[in-house]
Amino acid sequence: MDVDVIVVGLGSMGSAAVDHLAARGVNVLGFEQFGPVHQLGSHHGGSRIVRLSYFEHPSYVPLLRRAFELWDDLQGYAESEGEERVIHYCGGLYAGSPDCATYAGSLLAAREHGLDVELLTADECNRRFPQFTLAKEEVALFEKKAGFVRPELTVGLQLRRAAAHGADLRFNQKVREVTDSGGSQGVAVTTEEGTFRAPKAIITAGAWAPKLFESASIPQFAERQVMYWFTPTDAEGDPTALAETFASGPVYIHETTDTAQIYGFPASDGPEGGAKVAFFRKGRPTDPDEVDRVVTEEEVAAMQQRLTSFAPALAAGALVDAKACMYTTTPDEHFVIGPHPSPTSPNTAIACGFSGHGFKFVPVVGEILADLALTGETAHDISLFDPLRFSEVRAAQKPAAELR
């Protein structure tokens, strides 16, 4: 065998996997079809929310607690390398009607796991965070230990640390074929450079996963999403009056009665950088090799309209920038992490389908994947992410509520 483990894809999860493997002294080889820290997948855009009060499902919280420990560890490495901060704790605000998923789900997770949160009425929220305007019937949950991480810096640091520990990382090398021969034969990975062999492999293909795993009965699709940056502007048209308010504010998620969620960030890069905001679920299916990177005036207007009542200072502000990225979404919007579902691929672990909310888990997913590659199991509970859950047999064994 050429190496101990081969990792295919060195984006968010793949960079975390090679980082953990190399730190354990494993001889790891990684392949990436593009250059390091590129803007063609799902890890660009300058910021990603991190939070513990998880409305998607309370079962995520233990993984998040471990992820936060690992984020702090990566922060220590960033400081040792003279880099800027990776993680910023600015608090998180999750708002909407009392029974909406954003608020009710966050409250459920907080109560089940004893998280430190504050519950705010609309008036209390509006006074405390004047950059936002909640309707009188809305409520909010504020979580102090929430904030955002820098995705490009995260991936870059993980790759750097992995290389420092001896990882062999090869970029601009597209993998043509992965063949798991089973048993002691291991896995063969073929690129333009040739064929490489290892006892184990990890596939973290990101938005390219739907093409790769369609035959394995893992339904998912790549979805084009748009991120926007606006300059906060007050009622008199002053773009500087609210700069400090938006720069020091929390990350936020707001849901309306039609379930249209938006999420956003403080203006962390100064007034000239604008404040970032995006729809959580308003994308369209796309081919990752043919993504439309052009953001239209109609798309910008739709976001401004959505912001009009909740964050009027952003709706009135000038557009600083807009970029397209991709989610890779599963039917139940939960992740796919585990051994390859095919019985003929026992030496391969996979991680995909992160459905637009996976980046906050990056370091702990890397730890899980390293566990799976080296021992075939992990101490973390990943039953919610079972790759086999979409098969007809497994689906028949579980109520729909569990699959959600």
- Cα angle 338-343-347, degrees, rounded to a multiple of 5: 60
pLDDT digits (tens, 9 = 90+) for 304-330: 999 999 999 999 999 999 999 999 999
- Cα angle 32-347-36, degrees, rounded to a multiple of 5: 10
pLDDT of 272 over the 80 cut:
no
With CA atoms as reference, report the closest residue to 375 among 344, 349, 337, 345: 349
pLDDT digits (tens, 9 = 90+) for 346-401: 999 999 999 999 999 999 999 999 999 999 999 999 999 999 999 853 444 443 23
Distance from chain centroid for Cα 388: 22
Cα–Cα distance, 114 to 62 (Å, whole number):
12
Does this chain's domain 5-43+152-220+332-403 share its CATH topology with 90-148+221-329? Answer: no
Superfamily of domain 5-43+152-220+332-403: FAD/NAD(P)-binding domain (3.50.50.60)
Superfamily of domain 90-148+221-329: D-Amino Acid Oxidase, subunit A, domain 2 (3.30.9.10)
Q: Write down the domain spans for the chain.
A: 5-43+152-220+332-403, 90-148+221-329
Q: Are strands 251-255 and 92-96 parallel, antiparallel or unpaired?
A: parallel
Cα–Cα distance, 107 to 118 (Å, whole number):
10
Q: Any bridge partners for residue 222, and if so which?
A: 328
pLDDT digits (tens, 9 = 90+) for 198-219: 999 999 999 999 888 877 889 9
Q: pTM to 2 decimals?
A: 0.94
E strands, 145-212, are 147-149, 168-170, 177-180, 187-191, 194-198, 200-203
